[in-house]
Amino acid sequence: MTPQDFLESVVEAEPRPRLKRRLLTTRDLEEIKKITPTLREGSPRLFRDLRDKGIISYTEYLFLLSILTKPQSGFRIAFNMFDTDGNEKVDKNEFLVIRKLLCGKHRDTEDMSMEKIFSYAWKGKRGLTVDEKYNLKAPAEEQYVDDDQGLQRRHA
């Protein structure tokens, strides 16, 4: 199925009659892969721009169709299940609960990796670079307070 076919299947009430089915060779598929932009280069007009010069697998078709037909209320309900404190953000602890539910048991090394990710994200959000981290005057334990609202910088 091409992106054009997908758009027509979603928008049109009846599919457009096809006179001849297009069979693709391996070479055709390679050409299509070459012209398909990467995720970073993608745009909201991707399907319109590719038209019949792209390929959608049956699995991708079902996924896209399920996303388009799912009401927004379903996403809101799922999000609210994970946002336990109601602040409309899934924070670190809420994310770790989701991760534990979906991944089952996890090892200490995975926990350490997650701590690193959250630590870098926290520092990046506040503008701290790696160099600044080492130039801090007080030890890290003394600079932050871990309370019921999460890790916060201690103010003097």
Q: What is the pLDDT at residue 8?
A: 81
pLDDT the model gives residue 10? 79
The answer to whether 94 and 83 are in contact (CB under 8 A) is: yes
Residues of the chain with pLDDT under 70: 38-48, 51, 103-112, 120-156
Question: Does the pTM exceed 0.85?
Answer: no
φ, ψ of residue 2 to 5 degrees: the values are -95, 165
pLDDT of residue 136: 47
Interhelix angle 3-11/58-69, rounded to 10 degrees, is 40
pLDDT in tens, 1-42: 777 788 788 778 887 777 777 777 889 888 887 877 766 666
